[in-house]
Amino acid sequence: MRTDSSPGTLPAREHLPAASAGTPVLDVVIPVYNEEKDLQPCVRRLHGHLARTFPYAFRITIADNASTDTTPQVAARLEAEIAEVRSFRLEQKGRGRALRAVWSASDAPVLAYMDVDLSTDLNALLPLVAPLISGHSDLAIGSRLSRSSRVVRGAKREFISRSYNLILRGSLHARFSDAQCGFKAIRRDVAQVLLPLVEDTGWFFDTEMLVLAERAGLRIHEVPVDWVDDPDSTVHIVKTATDDLKGVWRVGRALATGSLPLDRLARPFGDDPRDRELPDVPGGLARQLVGFCVVGALSTLFYLLLYTVFRQAAGSQAANALALLVSAVANTAANRRLTFGVRGRGGAVRHQAQGLVVFGIGLALTSGSLAALGAASSDPAHSTELAVLVAANLAATVLRFLLFRAWVFPDRRDERTPSAVVTGHHPSGPAHPAAQPPSYGPLPQRRPYGTTLPHTGGTADRAWQDATLQLQPVRPADTDPGDAR
């Protein structure tokens, strides 16, 4: 499965148009569990801020996941009193589960969430979602670890937060600075394709979402925020940290084995319509050339090392043949994964067999060049032999790259079935050839207090599932015992 040069299933980013009256551009989700004390002042404060400062229509959605206090009654009262507020209740705990359910059902093109304690200064909300509305970015996160951020919190939480982000950088090679800040946003067209790939239903949900998005090449915008720690936070630090480490291990293993179809999240090159109409320009060629050269240099060093080892136990011809064979297999495997971005075990044996054929063609070219030189001159000069070998190896290398690209690892972009294409948001103007205009369904009717969402055991309630989403989830956890909220 190619992940580097495919056109992807996501359309090019474009500026969202001003919505018609009553249609929200932004849906801010507040996941809550037993927050009867803080919910009302939080919602009223957020609503007042958005009404004063946000230039588009908006919605605030309270996602109550299995509260046992009077939180559902408070949410229902706020929904009845404020037109822009809606509330939904899920019968299972888990912040990730709540976000997935509401985001999957929302008709707003920009989706966000924030913690109920409003630790993050709300002045960062418009800068958070502006790059998503303008089409510049796919996701946006608030960062407490930026140099310009101002944070008030204890040394213990500061140490834990920085240590966790160092773990993400070291193990998953994450480049975003703050995975745990409860202040994030995502474009709806991206969420439609990304959410089914996210397995976690608890606190690791947004970290996993960010890691997969970054690995797929999506653009993540970071906003420095002012943040004041909530001393009454009910988060169990040790339990949450343990679950996060388990999530890091699971995601790292999935990325290492190539079991995640990240090519579903690929964006086309460039947002200018002219960039989408260059059929004769091969995608990813420059990056593949660099990767092929790097792999070739490392393969040569590996060959020399193997020849040195084999030469101690065999003759020069046998040692050379064995070293060439082993290094050719390693070279094909490395080019398969690193240069041409093929993941998983499917077709690995066939690729190796084709790689050996390509290797044989190159060997025949160099050997044939030497044979031709010997036939032309009975005693050629050493410098002449070297010149012929350099030219033959150069030709063999170019031929090998072309055969790898066109035969062994061909671009399968044109063989995609129409069902693999996910529709996205498109304003008027030039459309991406692989995408269709969006068919955003309406948000489900308001549910009175006491109405629950039926649980299906999947990543999102099937009754909420958007009609344009055709992808299947990656076996999400059905239950979340001991969720530390």
What residues pair up with 228 in beta bridges, in sequence order? 152
Radius of gyration over alpha carbons of the chain, in Å?
28
Rounded distance between C-alpha atoms, residue 223 and residue 212, angstroms: 20
5: pLDDT strictly greater than 60: no
Distance (Å) of CA 129 to CA 20, 435, 469: 19, 24, 23
Least confident range from 123-132, 152-161, 243-252: namely 152-161
- Tell me, letter by letter, the H, E, C secondary structure of the chain: CCCCCCCCCCCCCCCCCCCCCCCCCEEEEEEECCCCCCHHHHHHHHHHHHHHHCCCCEEEEEEEECCCCCHHHHHHHHHHHCCCEEEEEECCCCHHHHHHHHHHHCCCCEEEEECCCCCECHHHHHHHHHHHHHCCCCEEEEECCCCCCEEECCHHHHHHHHHHHHHHHHHHCCCCCCCCCCEEEEEHHHHHHHHHHCCCCCCCHHHHHHHHHHHCCCCEEEEECEEECCCCCCCCHHHHHHHHHHHHHHHHHHHHHCCCCHHHHCCCCCCCHHHHCCCCCCCCHHHHHHHHHHHHHHHHHHHHHHHHHHHCCCCHHHHHHHHHHHHHHHHHHHHHHHHCCCCCCCCHHHHHHHHHHHHHHHHHHHHHHHHHHHHHCCCCCHHHHHHHHHHHHHHHHHHHHHHHHHHHCCCCHHHCCHHHCCCCCCCCCCCCCCCCCCCCCCCCCCCCCCCCCCCCCCCCCCCCCCCCCCCCCCCCCCCCCCCCC
Residue 61 φ/ψ, nearest 5 degrees = -115, 125
By CB atoms closer than 10 A (0-12, 13-18, 19+), residue 68 is: exposed
Rounded distance between C-alpha atoms, residue 459 and residue 456, angstroms: 8
338 touches 291 (CB < 8 A): yes
185 touches 225 (CB < 8 A): no
Residues listed for the chain: 485
Least confident range from 156-160, 184-188, 289-293, 401-405: namely 156-160
394: pLDDT strictly greater than 70: yes
Among candidate residues 39, 14, 195, the one with its CA nearest the CA of residue 111: 195
> What is the pLDDT at residue 446?
36
**Percentage of the residues of the chain whose pLDDT score is greater than 70:** 75
83: pLDDT strictly greater than 70: yes
What residues pair up with 187 in beta bridges, in sequence order? 110
pTM, rounded to two decimals = 0.58
Rounded distance between C-alpha atoms, residue 161 and residue 124, angstroms: 20
> What is the pLDDT at residue 482?
44
> What is the pLDDT at residue 288?
83
332 touches 407 (CB < 8 A): no
> Two tokens at 125?
């909300």
> Two tokens at 117?
């304690």
Rounded distance between C-alpha atoms, residue 212 and residue 291, angstroms: 22
Rounded distance between C-alpha atoms, residue 218 and residue 14, angstroms: 14
Rounded distance between C-alpha atoms, residue 332 and residue 334, angstroms: 5
> Two tokens at 50?
């958005």
**pLDDT bracket for residue 421 (50, 70, 90):** very low
Rounded distance between C-alpha atoms, residue 187 and residue 10, angstroms: 11
Return mean pLDDT, the chain.
77
Task: Please name the amino acid found at residue 423.
Answer: T
> What is the pLDDT at residue 431?
38
Segment 381-392 mean pLDDT: 76
Least confident range from 74-83, 145-154, 194-203: namely 145-154
Among candidate residues 47, 185, 32, 189, the one with its CA nearest the CA of residue 107: 189
> What is the pLDDT at residue 46?
96
142 touches 181 (CB < 8 A): yes
464: pLDDT strictly greater than 70: no
206 touches 176 (CB < 8 A): no
Selected residue with higher pLDDT from 405 and 80? 80
Rounded distance between C-alpha atoms, residue 342 and residue 337, angstroms: 5
> Two tokens at 367?
């050997």
Rounded distance between C-alpha atoms, residue 19 and residue 21, angstroms: 6
